[in-house]
Amino acid sequence: MNVFITGASSGIGAALAAEYARRGATLGLVARRAEVLAQLAASLPGAHHRYAVDVTDKDALIAAAHAFEQATAASGGTDVVIANAGISAGVLTEHYEDLAALERIYATNVFALAYTFHPFMAAMRARGRGTLVGVASVAGIRGLPGTEAYCASKAAAITYLESLRVGLRGSGVRVVTIAPGFIRTPLTARNPYPMPFLTDPDVFAARAARAIERQVSYTVIPWPMGVVAKLLRLLPNALFDRAFAGRQRKPRDAATTITTPATTSTTATTATTATTATATTATTAAASPAAGAAAGARPDDASDRAG
């Protein structure tokens, strides 16, 4: 099996990489931090391909996807594409500086979904098989205060994935939407509010891989958060507003440091990395790839982990 995963350098993506490597898959690992991807790949069983790419750089990501398709052509091409890369920060529309953070969150959490899937779609259609997986969030179910960009981006992701799924019906290409609840990763580490049913990334990854195998159309992991999400959806606005108006907010200090043009200039060089990406030959068993990968410093550390 050949699996392409974005946001593989940390948290959920690193745990999914470990899960699929354990299952014997050949992986295409995407994230901005090349050195963390290298550490992760070296900790996994099997030989894998790494692409140090910013997912908001459409052409660099497409080049990476084509490189992975080529690299795996002899073994049938890409079977599963997981668009997982995502960022979160508190955003308040009334602050001018938060508008750039909103743009960055949308670019990463929404537009990059399409950039990730696009380069695989024609080949998957031609083969009459393949699975496109989008990592959304229960945060996309209702708008929570202080997370005006993140909640809206995940709502957009859920609806985008549904359009794609229905549009591809009958083609052999399946679309799976996974909405995580609270998963213990750097993204949630600074959340100031209670996180019910907080789940470890390796537990999440094992459940997600099973859901992907069964090609479910939509699932919430862990499932009790799915029940909570359904109830929240049913709650009348008056009750919802009263219950959540006083909720603690995500820190928005990070939103002011979210990068935009600076990242674009670095990706011009990573595009080259993508097209010349090398397969690793590490065979060491993974001790704790998710934890190990999270240990590296990322380019805009403070901004992306405001969770």
Ligand X SMILES: NC(=O)c1ccc[n+]([C@@H]2O[C@H](COP(=O)([O-])OP(=O)(O)OC[C@H]3O[C@@H](n4cnc5c(N)ncnc54)[C@H](OP(=O)(O)O)[C@@H]3O)[C@@H](O)[C@H]2O)c1
Least distance to ligand X from the beta carbon of 141, Å?
11
Q: Which stretch binds ligand X (CB under 6 A): 84-92, 120-128, 239-247, 248-256?
A: 84-92
Contact between 72 and ligand X by CB under 6 A: the answer reads no
Contact between 180 and ligand X by CB under 6 A: the answer reads yes
Least distance to ligand X from the beta carbon of 156, Å?
12
Rounded CA gap, 136 and 82, in Å? 11
Contact between 87 and ligand X by CB under 6 A: the answer reads yes
The DSSP bridge pattern shows strands 80-83 and 218-221 to be: unpaired
**Residue 20 bears catalytic tag:** no
Q: Is the bond preceding residue 222 a cis peptide, omega within 30 degrees?
A: yes
Site for ligand X in 88-117 (CB under 6 A): 88, 108
Contact between 147 and ligand X by CB under 6 A: the answer reads no
Catalytic hit among 106, 150, 160, 193: 150
Contact between 19 and ligand X by CB under 6 A: the answer reads no
Whether 140 contacts 158, CB under 8 Å: yes
Candidate list 58, 165, 252, 305; residue touching ligand X; CB under 6 A: 305
| Tokens read off for 16 | 């999914």
Taking CB atoms, the residue at the shortest distance from ligand X is: 86
Q: By CB neighbour count within 10 A (0-12 exposed, 13-18 middle, 19+ buried), where does 245 fall?
A: exposed
- Please identify, using beta-carbon distances, which residue of 129 and 298 lies nearer to ligand X: 298
Contact between 10 and ligand X by CB under 6 A: the answer reads yes
Q: Which stretch binds ligand X (CB under 6 A): 64-72, 73-81, 176-184, 215-223?
A: 176-184
Whether 250 contacts 146, CB under 8 Å: yes
Candidate list 2, 7, 65, 155; residue touching ligand X; CB under 6 A: 7
Q: Which stretch binds ligand X (CB under 6 A): 54-62, 90-98, 124-132, 279-287?
A: 54-62
Rounded CA gap, 270 and 210, in Å? 33
Cα dihedral angle (9, 13, 18, 24), rounded to 10 degrees? -110
Rounded CA gap, 88 and 14, in Å? 18
Candidate list 12, 60, 62, 132; residue touching ligand X; CB under 6 A: 12
Neighbour order of strands in the sheet with 2-6: 49-52, 26-31, 2-6, 80-83, 130-135, 173-180, 218-221
Whether 30 contacts 297, CB under 8 Å: no
- Please identify, using beta-carbon distances, which residue of 13 and 146 lies nearer to ligand X: 13
Q: Which stretch binds ligand X (CB under 6 A): 95-103, 177-185, 223-231, 239-247?
A: 177-185
Q: How far is CA 212 from CA 16, 38, 80, 100, 201, in A?
A: 11, 26, 9, 34, 16
Contact between 58 and ligand X by CB under 6 A: the answer reads no
The DSSP bridge pattern shows strands 130-135 and 173-180 to be: parallel
Active site residues: 150
* Contact set with ligand X (CB under 6 A): 6-13, 31-33, 36, 54-56, 84-88, 108, 135, 137, 180, 182-183, 185-188, 298, 304-305
